[in-house]
Amino acid sequence: EKKQTINFGAGPAKLPQSVLFQAQKELMDYNGIGISVLEMSHRSSDFNKIMKSTETLLRELLSIPDNYKIMFLQGGGSGQFSAVPLNLIGLKQDRCADYLVTGTWSSKAAKEAEKYGKVNVVHPKQDSYTSIPTSSSWSLTSGASYLYYCCNETVHGVEFNFIPDTHGAVLVSDMSSNFLSRPVDVSKFGLIFAGAQKNVGCAGVTVVIVREDLIGYALKDCPVVLDYQVQAENNSLYNTPPCFSIYIMGLVLDWIKNNGGVDAMETLSKKKSSMIYDIINSSNGFYTCPVDVLCQSRMNIPFRVGKAEGDEAVEKKFLERASNLGMISLKGHRSVGGIRASLYNAVTVEEAAALASYMKEFLKEHQ
Ligand code: PMP
């Protein structure tokens, strides 16, 4: 008999089972129209309804104010590393932007932005990505076009539990890996983007939520598909959008709504992640998470096994045994090693509990 597989992958990641069933049911014949969403014109009225309802659901789930545009774009989170400076760095004459660099993804974003303007990392350089530099150490640039940060660093497991104070400057956030895992006051942001393949769907679509008055400042070399003004005016249909990924995202948003919305997702994320942190914290150093307790991520938990810097032989065994139990994709990112458990919205409390109980057992055997 096939064991049940539990997917702790960092993205693309687990989708709710009911979403997969529905997509399967509708795959050959969407809503009785005789064709699949995969075959449908992006300009058809049926696809238009999918786009509209997906946008409406998202607006509702995050209480997105009317003066924000929502776009469904291609190019991934990495595409937005370029699109953000291409569209926003020209907001102010100086063409400079402030960045918080708290891990791999914000570091990549800052590096990309350097192609288009001046980038200031606002805090002292960190030796490792295990904490968020205290805001009293930040020195924001006056005249900066925006302040950028990554709300949850997927590789390093560093998550912001506060919204940075920009002293009036435009705030931009990459929420790819904690999107819709808790409520967010969108009105505090100039722009939020998130790739769908972690918390809200499959790869292919990136959500961009942008305040209307920030649209229209793209540099003249900005590629047309990345130009927010062009995409916003065309309701993300300037070119063919990732139709099927948008459809899947709609199904996931519906699932979030039916399961209590973002408040419920937050409660569950705390419950799931505490189960794992509790074991780590009570393991007398057998399991170690290098991240400062103030910013330990609810979504991605990186940890080492055997000793603080990780005992690779023990970690190998940990992963093998986990895989025999059906728990997959627990290997840490290749840049940091060790283990990483990702507990996105679709991962159930029972699945997190199964990992916790396996960790407890493994600890017992190795003590
Ligand atoms: N930002 C974050 C926080 C991510 O985790 C990732 C991907 N893991 C990206 C950006 C890049 O996304 P993509 O691979 O879709 O370009």
Place of tokens 């060790």: 338
Place of tokens 């509790």: 278
Rounded CA gap, 119 and 95, in Å? 9
Burial of 10 (0-12, 13-18, 19+ CB in 10 A): buried
Backbone phi and psi for residue 27, each to the nearest 5 degrees, phi listed first: -60, -45
**Centre of ligand 1 from the C-alpha of residue 195, in Å:** 7
Q: What atom in ligand 1 is closest to the CA of residue 78?
A: 16
**Centre of ligand 1 from the C-alpha of residue 342, in Å:** 14
Counting ligand 1 atoms within 8 A of each CB, the residue from 72, 73, 74, 78 with the most, and so the one to mutate, is 78
What tens digit of pLDDT does each residue of 40-98 get? Answer: 999 999 999 999 999 999 999 999 999 999 999 999 999 999 999 999 999 999 999 99
Q: Is the CB of 177 under 6 A from ligand 1?
A: yes
**ipTM at complex level:** 0.99
pLDDT for 88 equals 98
Q: Is the CB of 150 under 6 A from ligand 1?
A: yes
Atom 7 of ligand 1, nearest CA residue: 77
CB atoms within 10 A of CB 346: 22
Residues in the chain with pLDDT < 50? 1
Task: Please state at what angle helix 45-61 crosses helix 243-258, rounded to 10 degrees.
Answer: 40
Backbone phi and psi for residue 334, each to the nearest 5 degrees, phi listed first: -60, -20
**Centre of ligand 1 from the C-alpha of residue 105, in Å:** 7
Q: Is the CB of 112 under 6 A from ligand 1?
A: no
Q: Is the CB of 76 under 6 A from ligand 1?
A: yes
Q: Is the CB of 11 under 6 A from ligand 1?
A: yes
What tens digit of pLDDT does each residue of 168-217 get? Answer: 899 999 999 999 999 999 999 999 999 999 999 999 999 999 999 999 99
Counting ligand 1 atoms within 8 A of each CB, the residue from 108, 154, 192, 329 with the most, and so the one to mutate, is 154
Q: Is the CB of 173 under 6 A from ligand 1?
A: no
pLDDT for 2 equals 58
Q: Which residues are catalytic?
A: 105, 174, 198
**Centre of ligand 1 from the C-alpha of residue 365, in Å:** 36
pLDDT for 56 equals 98
Share of the chain above pLDDT 90, in %: 96
Q: What is the dihedral of CA 195, 151, 328, 310, to 10 degrees?
A: 140
User: In whole angstroms, how large is the CA radius of gyration of the chain?
Assistant: 21
pLDDT for 320 equals 98
Atom 3 of ligand 1, nearest CA residue: 176
**Centre of ligand 1 from the C-alpha of residue 265, in Å:** 21
The DSSP code for 338 is S
Q: Is the CB of 103 under 6 A from ligand 1?
A: no
Rounded CA gap, 224 and 230, in Å? 7
Counting ligand 1 atoms within 8 A of each CB, the residue from 106, 148, 177, 226 with the most, and so the one to mutate, is 177
